[in-house]
Amino acid sequence: MKPPPFVYHDPHSIDDAVSLLAEKENAKLLAGGQSLMPMLNMRFVLPDDVIDINKIEDLSYIRDDGDALVFGGITRQRDIEFSDLVEQKIPLMKEAILNVGHRQTRNRGTFGGSLSHLDPSAELPTVSIAQDAIVSVRKKGATRDIPMAEFPMGYMTPSFDLDEMVTDIRVPIWPTGHGYAFVEFARRHGDYAITSSAVLLDVADGGEISKASVTLGGVGPSPLRVATVEEGLAGEVGSKELFTEIAEKCRDIDAMEDVYTPAWYRQHLAVVLTRRALAKAFSRAANGTGMNLR
């Protein structure tokens, strides 16, 4: 299990990186390496060129833009984990990030890398979809923004082109006092989740839900928003009965099946985890009330 031969490049600027991407036919971008390196070691990928973007200094930051936090493409998962800004403004991300691998992998793994790899149960893509993030990608001579809703094209396939790279991710902030919960089920601590549920609730006085975002990871080929649940919550007053009933809608979602996990189980977990996440998020909302639906 040794990497195959390739030519290594370590550009110091985004321009240089995208030039290389434009020029090289069969190249792979190396960010944190937590997904690409195992694939190289196992020779599941055989690139002619590896473009290491770790030396590009202006790709790593967390910036407060008022209505959003903006993350550089190679911002490490570790930096997200220890960021006070993230904890205050995107608590869903803070809760999710602790489920991402282990300290050793978070020290290296990057936000842009997670999005580009796009594992269906990865936490950062799930949170990005939940928060309606916008991903900026750049290629030689052009930049464009891709809303997260349009970012996944299929199983582990983002919608940007091979000559494009993720430069930053803009994550809109929900109003102060919103409820949030990231609940996942994994076989072991730090494993990719079988299923996860990310919930954001804006709760008005009296417990009325004015806005809801409900995202499932691991169920479909990429993380997906559950519109039926979101619509069913809007305008309703949060209650155990409401959450129990509405979560059942997750059972109707088409789910993936593999040798480890039947589709039935993913649907079942989607229901259970969403109910639990709704209760947790509602309990945390400034205008919500405490409840436990475990």
Q: Does 17 bind other proteins (CB under 8 A)?
A: no
Q: Does 3 bind other proteins (CB under 8 A)?
A: yes
Q: Does 107 bind other proteins (CB under 8 A)?
A: yes
The residue type of 280 is K
Member of 188, 205, 206, 241 binding other proteins (CB under 8 A): 188
Residue placing its CB nearer to other proteins in the complex, 31 or 146: 31
Q: Does 143 bind other proteins (CB under 8 A)?
A: no
Q: Does 112 bind other proteins (CB under 8 A)?
A: no
Min CB(32)–other proteins separation in Å: 8
Q: Does 294 bind other proteins (CB under 8 A)?
A: yes
Q: Binding mask 58-97 vs other proteins (x if CB under 8 A, - otherwise)?
A: --------------------x-------------------
Q: Does 101 bind other proteins (CB under 8 A)?
A: yes
CA nearest neighbour of 133 among 118, 106, 113, 151: 151
Q: What is the 3-state secondary structure (H, E, C) of 248-290?
A: HHHHHCCCCCCCCCCHHHHHHHHHHHHHHHHHHHHHHCCCCCC
111-115-116-120 Cα dihedral, nearest 10 degrees: 140
In the block, residue with structure tokens 């400034």: 286
Cα separation, 209 vs 204, whole angstroms: 6
Member of 14, 16, 22, 105 binding other proteins (CB under 8 A): 105
Residue placing its CB nearer to other proteins in the complex, 116 or 131: 116
Q: HSE, CB side, 13 Å, CA atoms: give it for residue 189.
A: 3
Distances (CA, A) of 63 to 60, 74, 95, 234: 10, 13, 19, 31
Member of 141, 205, 241, 259 binding other proteins (CB under 8 A): 259
By CB under 8 A, which span of 60-68, 165-173, 189-197, 241-249 interacts with other proteins? 189-197
Min CB(46)–other proteins separation in Å: 9
For the chain, how many residues are written? Answer: 294
Min CB(23)–other proteins separation in Å: 16
- Using CB under 8 A, count the residues that bind other proteins: 47
Token pair recorded at residue 125: 């893509």
Q: What is the DSSP letter of 22?
A: H
Cα separation, 36 vs 53, whole angstroms: 13
Site of interaction with other proteins (CB under 8 A): 1-8, 10, 30, 33-34, 37-38, 40-43, 50, 52, 54, 78, 101-105, 107-108, 185, 187-192, 259-262, 264-265, 268-269, 272-273, 294
